[in-house]
């Protein structure tokens, strides 16, 4: 018998100290690099976007890959790329930790649109408030020590 699964992960992580170091002029190159990392892990990227201090990823994760290793590999490889590219001179690294939230397939377009509209969304809500809200909406206890 075959195994079936459909798990959409909405992954969010920020820059070290929430510094605004993801230069928007070159961020599409970063997203393309992360897409390659996800493909190399047999994952599927539905959408990636963010602003200067954090990114959102909506993806499918291959069942043979542990989520923690998947995110670690994305953060590690993209950090190296960001520092070597010469286009993100103020980037110091990613902050420790991440948020990974799951969604049903029927919610995919809603989350894709949410991620697409990050720049507009963050005119009214800080990253910290956004993350607190997302965690609470998913019944996750908020650890305030993560927030600056």
More confident residue, 5 or 72: 72
Interval 46-59: pLDDT, tens: 999 999 999 999 99
Minimal CA–CA distance to 85: which of 31, 43, 45?
31
Global pTM value: 0.94
Q: How many helices (H) and strands (E) does the chain have?
A: 5, 4
Sketch out the chain's domains with CATH numbers.
Answer: 8-140 (3.30.70.1290)
Cα–Cα separations (whole angstroms), residue 84 to 47, 77, 136, 138: 24, 11, 37, 36
Interval 110-120: pLDDT, tens: 999 999 999 99
Residue 100, by phi and psi: left (phi above 0), alpha (psi -120 to 50) or beta? beta
Interval 80-98: pLDDT, tens: 999 999 999 999 999 999 9
What is the pLDDT confidence band of residue 4, given thresholds at 50, 70 and 90? confident
């Amino acid at each position: 018998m075959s195994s079936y699964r459909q798990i959409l992960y909405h992954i969010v992580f920020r820059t070290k100290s929430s510094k605004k170091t993801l230069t928007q002029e070159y961020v599409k190159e970063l997203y393309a690099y992360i897409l390659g990392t996800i493909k190399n892990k047999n994952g599927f990227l539905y959408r990636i976007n963010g602003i200067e201090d954090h990114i959102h990823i909506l993806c499918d994760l291959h069942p043979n890959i542990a989520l923690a290793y998947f995110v670690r590999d994305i953060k590690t490889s993209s950090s190296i790329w960001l520092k070597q590219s010469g286009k993100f001179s103020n980037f110091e690294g990613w902050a420790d930790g991440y948020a990974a939230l799951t969604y049903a397939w029927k919610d995919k377009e809603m989350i894709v649109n949410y991620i697409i509209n990050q720049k507009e969304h963050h005119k009214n809500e800080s990253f910290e408030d956004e993350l607190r809200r997302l965690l609470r909406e998913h019944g996750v206890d908020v650890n305030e020590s993560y927030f600056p």
